[in-house]
Every structure is written in C-alpha cells, then in structure tokens.
Structure 1
Amino acid sequence: MKNILDAMLNDMAKADELFKPTQFWINASKLILDELQTDEDFNNFRNLPISREMFVPSYEFYYYKKHKTLFQRILSLPVKKNLLRIFEKSLTGADQAKNDYRLFLATSTDKYPNLTSIGESNIGNPVEYYSFDEQRYSQGFLNYLRGLNFLKRHADCKNIKRVIELGGGFGTLGEITQKAFKNTFYLNVDIPPVAAVSSYYLSQLLGKENVFTYDQSKHLETIDVSELEQKYKCAVICPWQLPQLQGHFDLFVNFISFQEMEPHIVKNYISIFEKLLNKTSHVLLRNSRFGKKIAKNKQDVGVIDQVTLDFIIKQFKNCTLVDRDYKVFGFYSKKSASEVAILKKNSF
C-alpha cells in the first residue's frame, strides 16, 4: 500500500490547487506521513497516535490518550474501587460510547437497511472499540449509524444504489454500505495519505479484487461509474480525478471534512458534486455549527477561515434542506456542536 500512497503524493504535487489540501490538512498530513513509513504501519494504523488524533475518532479523553501510563498509575491507587471505576469510564469514554449506542438503538426503525445487525471489523489493529450486543463499535462507526438513522426518516434508502463520499476517512461508510445495503456501490474521494489508508482498509475488508484503487485509475482519462460497479464493490479516487468521473449517484455524504477546508475549496467541491447527483438524490452532512479552530500560525493544524454547516448548506444551489439536528443525531457540548443535515436534490 505504500507504493499507492507514494503515487498519490507524487500526482498531488502536480494537481490543481482546488484539489489540494489547505492549511488544516497540509499540516495534519505531514504528521500522519511520519507514522506511515512502511506497509506494516498500515496494518496498525488504528493504534498510531497521530492517526488516532486526526482521522480515527476516539471517545478517550484527550489527555488520557496522550498520557495513558500516568493515568493508569492513578487508577491503580489504593482508593475505593467504585470511585476509580467511575473516573476510568469518564477517561476512556465508555459511558459516552454506551450513550451513543443507546441513542442509535432508540432512533432505529424497521425501514431498510437494517443497521442494528452489523458491527465494525478489527482491521488496522484498533486499540479502542466497544462491544455491545456481541458487535464491535467505534465512535466513527456509531456516528455514521446515527446519521444513517436520520436519513432513513426522510428517504427511501432502497433506492440508494450508488454512494459517493468526500473525505471518507479510513472507510467506515464503505464498510457499512457493504454490510447493510444490497448491491450498493461506494466511492470515496479523498486526499493522501488518508485515501491510501481507506484503500488498504476496504481491500482488507472486501478483498483486493473488489476495490478499485489509485494504481488502477491514475492513468485513466475517464472513470465510468457504470463500468466500475459491474466489477467492484468500492472505489477510492483522489480529488484531482473528479473531472474524469462520469455517472450519477443517489447519495452524497460528507462527515466532518468540509469544516476542515477553506471556503473557496468547499464551494468548488459542492459545485462538482451537485452535478453528479441524479434527480432523486439526497445529501447527508455532518459538520460543525461553529467551524474548526483557527490556526495560530502556518504550522498549526487549523483553518484560516471557518466553514460552518450553515455555509455548507448555502452552497448547494440545486438542493433543498429537508431536516437538521445536533441534539440527537449529532453531538453538542458547552464548547462545540456537530450537526447532521439532510438535503434533497431539486427535481426541476
């Protein structure tokens, strides 16, 4: 997989600026690349410190994750076990994970697809996951499941046969679509190094023969979705390949990554993806209500200008907002709020 990553990085250097990472991911990518030096690093990406911080969502308290040895010493102190157990659940995020799982179950319906019967793989050697009802779940997996529950309330998901996602992380939505949906093709569009990681994850999950990867697409003048779905279950391409992409999709998804881009980049992507939607398509979003933190300097992992969910929704000129929520299907606290929204393509 390291050879695919190297090819992506070489081609990205020659790509249009509109398809390259900006402030946030320029600096985040440098840190991640330091960890992904060999194929063995891909095998363990879900327990690499920077990867866990940047694109492998975690329930663990930030300082607990960073100074775990110190906290484990504290938890071994000779004090009341009940108090330590409560403290430990708060640090590890076990209570939050259980609450998210209960919310997922409470918002589930009998409508297709059945999401309650699937769980997450252990590919990438994860150090954090939670088991409920004999299934494995991570924070990212539960985030997507709750988002899809929200979608099920407003759309007939039986009509979803092609899904395209921008910034799909290590491939969680691809895993869900292949486990819960029937005959649904999934395409992830992402920048390296994360695009290479999702290629690895989905190939390990589904078999290399079922995933169309960058080494197969980099020289193509046209990437025809109707041809791909006949041979593959999933595909991973890079943003600068979007002009070569031909075909229409039933669902466009963006979870978190728009908020990590600059406004002009978001505008460009949305103008492209709207053209890839058919007349009955839906859009599923989850992004910050307030925007990511502003970078303190050129080396900081942050944004120059904040992108909020309101801004994102306004860029969809040919779609109508159906519903939005952050209290049940998203996340909110005193300091932040991540909101889920559903849009529908205008049929006229």
Structure 2
Amino acid sequence: MTKIIQLDDDLDLLDSMIQDQKKADELYRPTNYWETYMSSFLPELRKKGLRDFRRRKFSVMGTFGATDINLLSIVNLPQILQTAQKTKLIWRFVPNVVSILEKILKPIRKLYEKQINSEIVVNAYYPYAKENFLKKGWDISKFSMTLIGNPDEAISVDGKYWSRHHLDVATIFIDAMIRSDFKDGDFFCEIGPGCGRNVEFFATAFPHSTMILFDIAPQLYVSNQYLKKRFQDRFIPYEEGIKLKVSDKSKWKGKIILLPTWHIEKWSTVPIDYFWNSASFQEMEIPVVSNYLSLVKKMKPNWIYINALPNGNYWGEWHAGQGGTKAPIKEEIYTMNLKDQYELKEKYYTKYMLRTNDHNSHIFKRKSKAD
C-alpha cells in the first residue's frame, strides 16, 4: 500500500488567518451558514489537529468534502445526533421522531451492512467516469486519490486508489470538461475550493496552467496544509500568496495560489479563462454571491461553471444561532447576475453516487460581444 502522509499542524497560521478574516469586509467573511459551523470547527482543529483528518466520522470536515468515509462507518443514528448536538443543529430533529427512526433503521441497517459496501459502489460507478475521461483522451488512473491525511476509504481499482467522494468529484470535473473548453496554460479560478479536490483534477490535467483559489477560514487552513503536501513547489501557500504582487507575473504564472476571499478584489484585474464554483455559492447570502459574481465578470473568463442546489442549501425558516442561510439562494440568481455578459450554454443534473438528482450544473459561456 502507498505510504500514508500526514499533514503538518500550524495553529499559529490558523490563528493568523482567523484574525485577518475578522478585519475583512463583511462581504468576504463567513456568512451565517459557516459562521455557525465555526463554533465546532475551530475547537476540533485545535484539539485534534489535522492527523487522519480524512477518516473523521461525523466531523464538520465532511461538510466541505475533506473526508473519505466508508459507507458502513456512517450508518449510526445516535452518532449523527450527537454530532448534530455538538454543532448546534439538534433543533432540526424532533425527539419523538428520532426514537421512532432508530427502531425503524436498526433492521434496515443490518440488511444494508450485508448487501452494500463502498467497494461495490465504487466499482459500479467507475466505468462511467473512465469512459468519459477517455472521451477527452485522458487516462483516469492519473487522477486517482492520494493517501494524504489517511482516508478511511481507499478502494483499489485498476491498481489505483479511489473513494466514493473522489469519484464524485472526478465525474463532476469530466462532465464539465466534455461540455466546455480549457487547455493547458489557461488560467483557472475557484471560489470555495474546500479541501482542494477540484483543483487536483485541473492541476493534473493541465500541468502548465495557473490556478488561483479563494476561500474563508478555517477551510482555508485545511486546504492550505493539504495542497502544500499535494503539490509542493507548484503551490504558493497562504503566507506567501498574500504578499504576491499581481504585476509580478513571473512569480505566480503556472502556480497554484491559495488566498483569502478578500483578496479577490486585488486579483479581479487579471484575465482568467475558467471560473469554477461547486456547492459553495449555495451556502452564502444573496448580496455576497452577487458581489463575487460581479468580480468574476471583471476577470472576463470564457467559461463559468456553477454546481448548486436549485433552491440553495436552505434549511427552512431562519432563526438566529441555528445556522443555514437567511434566504434561499435560488439558481436564478446566477443567471440574473451573469446575463449581461454570459449565456447559459447548458444546465444538467450533477451526477453524484447514491444521491438523487438534486444538484444542477450550470455552464455559462461568455458572449462574443461582451465588454
């Protein structure tokens, strides 16, 4: 088995990110959705660090795609409820319903454990992704997952490792690439990279491209430490990135640059080729999304990809201290903000394993006469 590599902890860097974030304009700080999660996220990072972060069950790490968990390890309602309580989300469960659910789920869980496991699921979906990668002339094995962070799920397929989540991201990536255009040497930009999975695929496919990523802390801290291990000299970490001059292209061309969200204004004068957002805008407030898209338009990408729930990741009527967005982020917001310069080339269901077609992928193309 490939050697497992652990991430380095740097709590001083984490604290520095948090302090810098507090000074930023409200449009670039965590909105209510993620501000609520931080109450559990920061204590977890300070207590447990980043060791084995990809096998943590019922952790906030899973909410932004940082974990790779085996199916059989998550069929446990009491643990789910315990985690919900820690993250102040217990209000979403009615106690009487919970006890009934546990009685119903017990026999179902036993059957589930006998008949379904991650290996079966991954092997069932892998041929679909492999076929689509071949349409672009790419060998899917080059995009397999690393064992950095000691993932709980690492299934060997064709001699390489895959998890359900890594295969989901692979499918999202290749489905978009088939429908749009990006070539080696082009400039890629992403808001909300999470752990950095999307850029792993882009960086592997396009080794000479420049990639700039913007995110909020603490996610910023996790992706910084992960991408530093993953891409080494090609990666410009947070502490160096915030000192970069946009004009000094020789220092950042062809690199992967990670920056806090409030630096996007500084970089909005740089033309890019492809903008990407996957399941991140849906967790923000409407004015924040509109502001980001106005800056993206200034960067004049030829292509814009947005993956999101049609009505956002909305939990229902909002109450203070209970998380969620204050209003649903409906997909019409993207079209409304982009329609002056972009046309919606295609909208299709985002393919996820073991999930209904609840997300839509939107691919926008810049109008030929756009300013």
TM-score using structure 2 length: 0.78
Q: What amino acid maps onto 1:268 in structure 2? A: N
Q: Whole-Å Cα distance in 1 between the matches of residues 259 and 342 of structure 2?
A: 25
Aligned to 1:105: 130
Are the aligned partners of 1:282 and 1:342 in contact in 2 as well (CA < 8 Å)? yes
Q: Which residue of 2 aligns with 1:72?
A: none
Distance 2:32 2:287 in 1: 13
In structure 1, distance between residues paired with 2:114 and 2:189: 39
> Residues 227, 61 of structure 1: CA spacing in aligned structure 2 closer, same or farther, 3 A cutoff?
farther
Match of 2:205 in 1: 180
Q: Tell me, in whole angstroms, the C-alpha distance in 2 between the residues paired with 1:253 and 1:65.
A: 34
**2:54 equivalent among 46, 50, 53:** 46
In the alignment, the residues of structure 2 paired with residue 65 and residue 125 of structure 1 have an alpha-carbon distance, to the nearest angstrom, of 22
Structure 1 residues 112, 106: CA separation in 2 closer, same or farther (over 3 Å shift)? closer
Offset, 1:156:
3.3
- Residues 146-193 of structure 1 show CA distances to partners (whole Å, capped at 9, x for unaligned) of 222222323333266211111001111222222222312222110001
- 2:323 maps to 1:315: no
CA distance in 2, matches of 1:98, 1:262: 38
Contact 2:41 2:218 in 1 (8 A): yes
Matches within 5 A, 1:133-282: 133-158=158-183, 161-207=186-232, 209-219=233-243, 222-224=245-247, 226-230=249-253, 233-245=255-267, 246-278=269-301, 281-282=302-303
Rate the CA distance shift 1:68–1:122 in 2: closer, same or farther, 3 A: farther
Match of 1:298 in 2: 320
Q: Could you list the per-position Cα deviations for residues 222-248 of structure 1 after superposition, in whole angstroms to 9, with x for gaps in the alignment? A: 434833434x63111011111211422
Aligned letter for 2:265? P
Tell me the CA shift for residue 4 of structure 1.
2.2
Conservation of the 8 A alpha-carbon contact between 2:184 and 2:206: no
Quick one: distance in 2 between partners of 1:252 and 1:259?
A: 16
Q: Does the 8 A contact of 1:160 with 1:251 survive in 2?
A: no
Residue 87 of structure 1 pairs with residue 113 of structure 2:
yes
For the aligned residue pairs, the C-alpha RMSD in angstroms reads 2.9
Displacement of 1:46 in angstroms is 1.6
> 5+ unaligned residues in a row in structure 1: which ranges?
70-82
**Residues 23 and 287 of structure 1, relative CA distance in 2, 3 Å threshold:** same
Question: Partner amino acid for 2:246?
Answer: I
2:20 is matched by which residue type in structure 1?
A: D
Tell me how far 1:306 sits from its aligned partner: 1.0
For residue 338 of structure 1, report the CA deviation from its aligned partner: 1.1
Measure the CA separation in 2 of the matches of 1:313 and 1:129: 38
* 1:110/1:122 CA distance change after superposition, 3 Å: same
102-111 vs 258-267, which deviates more? 102-111
1:16–1:115: structure 2 CA closer, same or farther, 3 Å change rule?
same
Instruction: Check if 1:10 corresponds to 2:35.
Output: no
Measured after TM superposition, the shift of residue 22 of structure 1 is 0.8
Distance in 2 of aligned mates of 1:86 and 1:210? 43
Note if contact 1:140-1:172 (Cα within 8 Å) is conserved in structure 2: no
Q: Contact 1:320/1:346 (CA < 8 Å) preserved in 2?
A: yes
Cα distance, 1:6 vs structure 2: 1.4
Q: Distance in 1 between matches of 2:208 and 2:45?
A: 33
Which residue of 2 is the match for residue 74 of structure 1?
none
Deviation at 1:58?
5.3
More strand by share: 1
Preserved contact between residue 323 and residue 343 of structure 1 (Cα < 8 Å) = yes
CA–CA separation in structure 2 for the residues paired with 1:95 and 1:87: 12
**Counterpart code for 1:162:** F
Residues 190-214 of structure 1, C-alpha deviations (whole Å, 9 max, x = no match): 000111111111110121x332122
Change in Cα spacing, 1:160 to 1:115, as seen in structure 2 (3 Å) is farther
Gap change, CA 1:45 and 1:330, over 3 Å in 2: closer
Going from structure 1 to structure 2, the CA distance change for 1:89 and 1:137 (only over 3 Å counts) comes to farther
Residue 21 (str. 1) matches residue 30 (str. 2): yes
Candidates 67, 70, 75, aligned match of 1:64: 75
Uncovered stretches (5+) of structure 2, i.e. residues with no partner: 1-9, 81-108
Q: What is the distance in 1 between the residues matched to 2:115 and 2:247?
A: 48
Question: Does structure 2 conserve the Cα–Cα contact (< 8 Å) formed by 1:160 and 1:250?
Answer: no
- Give the whole-Å Cα distance in 2 for the aligned partners of 1:106 and 1:84: 34
How far is the alpha carbon of 1:67 from its aligned partner?
5.4
Matches of 1:19 and 1:194, distance apart in 2? 14
Change (3 A) 1:223 1:45: farther
Amino acid at match of 1:51: V
Residues of 2 paired with 1:196 and 1:128: CA distance?
Answer: 23
CA shift for structure 1 position 44: 2.5
**Distance of aligned partners of 1:23 and 1:341 in 2 relative to their CA distance in 1, 3 Å threshold:** same
Letter in 1 for 2:335: I
Share of identical aligned residues, percent?
Answer: 22
Once residues 115 and 236 of structure 1 are traced to their aligned partners in structure 2, the CA distance between those partners, rounded to angstroms, is 26
Per the alignment, residue 283 of structure 1 pairs with: 304
Offset at residue 118 of structure 1 (A):
2.0
